[in-house]
Structure 1
Amino acid sequence: MLIASYNPDAMGDTLIVVLAQDQPGETHQQFGDIVAISDAQGKVVGYNFFNVSQILGALSDRGQVFLTDTQVDKLNAAITAAGAPGQLVADHDPKLVIGVVNELAAHPDSDHLHVGQIDVGWPETVQIVCGAPNVAAGQHVVVALPGAMMPTGQIIWPGALRGVDSYGMICAARELGVPGAPDRHGILVMPDDLAAGTPFDMDVAIKVVAAQA
């Protein structure tokens, strides 16, 4: 997993790279313009690259940055040159994808949550807890898998809701930042011809929201 973000107005010329969920007992070590963040076992879980334009050149992206293999190679060379631990591994797997709600059951400890078994194009379904009032079996929906960064900057991680494991989130149009999204609680239902595992397409979502308005 590799999640990168760049917000120069708030943090200057700094690239933030997240490799794993925050954990208690993390430590920070600075090696020149690179800070390595490690967990309690010493495994690197993230980096801060200060003055990153000196490594990658000027970055035009704001918010999440999808690093190319060449950019990852340059960052790894900088890590090695600075004597910092670890290396980055490029991650090009989409984290916002179409999911198909194969099964939906009532949550055992809630009167409004549901437990869904969602086909995201993998060999096995993933379990996601959802509280949207309009969720139903058979729907094609947008799933934020672990490692997805939402428009707000929130990163999606595996978790649990009222004691039931949940591997991601079924998204509403507002959560995806779709222009014209309705100001009401409910997930975005996508066209049935979009196969499970298809990467999320904002243009398609805009058309769906406009048609439902």
Structure 2
Amino acid sequence: MIFTYNKEQVGDVLMVIVADDQGQAVAVDRRGPVARVFRLDTDQTVAWNIFDLSQVIELEGSGQVWLTDEQVAQLNASLAAQGFTEQLINDREPKFVVGQIVSMEAHPDSDHLNICQVAVGQEEPIQIVAGAPNAAVGLKTIVALPGAMMPKGNLIFPGDLRGVASYGMMCSPRELALPNAPQKRGIIELADTAVVGEAFAAEKHWQG
């Protein structure tokens, strides 16, 4: 679940992205200050728009923002007041973490993609399909997990590349908008001392 807010450019509206619409047609059910965006084919909720947000909670920041459990409870009260039965679930787990490639094999339907198993501090490695030319077993890098918003605004959801499931993205310095990022392809290469699963912090993990 991704919360985004940009009062200056968009207005006093919180956008809550719940799922990938996968390019399918969507419709909107608006009730007062709350709008539910859902897929027409499955009725799955993909987003919520909560208008006049400052009348419900005070929120600082721009772009992807992080809410407290108390703020999410207040938003859920607003949804319920408009007759919606779904609730928002707060997810405060870091979405950019240190990962390490533990195995890699060539994609069967591509001459440049690899299927990587990447340790990210969870019980099992996650599978990521990547085309980075410097990807190698043992390399530590930064992984954007599902639910991440990249600096340019694109969202990370589970998907597939040429028929193979992929559950995140290994990031280049340029994709993370890091200062002095080299303008070339390739994922960020971290020191061996980087701790797998640790939340990404530019001041700690980048010396560009």
Q: TM-score, normalized by length of structure 2?
A: 0.93
The residue type paired with residue 133 of structure 2 is P
Cα distance in structure 2, aligned partners of 1:165 and 1:41: 21
Q: Give 2:46's aligned residue.
A: 45
Give the paired residue count. Answer: 206
> Once structures 1 and 2 are overlaid, which stretch shifts more, 190-199 or 23-32?
23-32
Aligned-pair distance for 1:150?
0.5
1:162 alignment counterpart: 162
Per-residue CA distance 1:96-122 (angstroms, 9 max, x = gap): 111110011122122221111111111
- What is the CA distance between 1:42 and its match in structure 2? 3.4
Give how far 1:82 is off: 2.1
Task: List runs of 5+ in structure 2 lacking aligned partners.
Answer: none
Report how far residue 27 of structure 1 moved.
Answer: 2.7
Task: Give the secondary structure class of the aligned counterpart of 1:190.
Answer: coil
Cα-to-partner distance string for 1:54-99 (whole Å, 9 max, x where unaligned): 1112x32000011111110111111112223311111111111111
Cα distance in 2 between the residues matched to 1:67 and 1:22: 23
> What is the alpha-carbon root mean square deviation over aligned residues?
1.5
Tell me if 1:188 matches 2:188.
yes
Partner Cα separation in structure 2 for residue 87 and residue 129 of structure 1: 32
* Equivalent in the alignment of 1:4: 3
Deviation of residue 25 (structure 1)? Answer: 4.4
In 2, Cα distance between equivalents of 1:8 and 1:60: 9
Show the counterpart of 1:104.
104
What pairs with 1:31-180 in structure 2 (closer than 5 Å)?
31-39=31-39, 40-57=41-58, 59-180=59-180
Larger helix fraction of residues: 1
Alignment partner of 1:103: what SS? strand
Tell me the distance in 2 between the aligned counterparts of 1:105 and 1:41.
35
**Residue aligned with 1:28, SS:** strand
- TM-score scaled by structure 1? 0.91
Q: Percent identity?
A: 44
The CA distance in 1 between the partners of 2:30 and 2:85, in whole Å, is 11
1:147-169 Cα deviation digits (max 9, x unpaired): 11101111011112222221111
4+ residue runs over 6 A deviation:
none
> 2: CA distance between counterparts of 1:133 and 1:46?
35
Amino acid at match of 1:33: P
State yes or no: 1:14 paired with 2:13.
yes
